[in-house]
Amino acid sequence: MKVVFDSNVLIAALITEGICAKLLHRARTGEFSLASCPFIMKEVRRILSRKFRLANSERASAMEPVTEAVGQIIEHNLKIKGVCRDADDDNILACALAAKAEYLVTGDADLLELKSYQDIRMTTPRDFEALFL
């Protein structure tokens, strides 16, 4: 099963010990295939730098579990516009579509409201974790 995590899920996985961290561990151990794209990876690094004020070396260390978990970085030119209120959410959708993901795991209410988009199911981390129980 191919999955894309929204940047909010990746950030939560890095800064907490909850469900998102557990899901990142599942990806690292190959229980599913985690894909991402440069947009998401850049956004995670930006948040770690600006919001959490991590220095470059700290940020690189923090990103190690993510880079280990992500099996594929999808380089794409796919553009989606106007599906979500936030253009960044359209970029996340484009990543999931380009990756041919079955699931987009997110905590973003606007994305979750869609429920699905072109065969990609939007799900919360908790609901995604329930698939493994």
Each residue's pLDDT tens digit, 45-56: 999 999 999 888
Helix (H, G, I), strand (E, B) or coil at 43: helix
Whole-number Å distance between alpha carbons of 45 and 85: 23
User: Could you tell me which residues come within 8 angstroms of residue 38 by beta carbon, excluding any fewer than 6 positions away?
Assistant: 73, 75
Domain span including residue 17: 2-130
Whole-model pTM over 0.75: yes
Per-residue pLDDT at 132 exceeds 70: yes
Q: What is the pLDDT of residues 2-59, one digit of tens each?
A: 999 999 999 999 999 999 999 999 999 999 999 999 999 999 999 999 999 988 889 8
Reported as a pLDDT band with limits 50, 70 and 90, residue 80 is: confident
> The domain spanning residue 31 has which CATH number?
3.40.50.1010
**Confidence at residue 82, expressed as pLDDT on a 0 to 100 scale:** 65
Number of domains in the chain: 1
Please answer whether residues 34 and 70 qualify as being in contact, where contact means their C-beta atoms are separated by less than 8 angstroms: yes
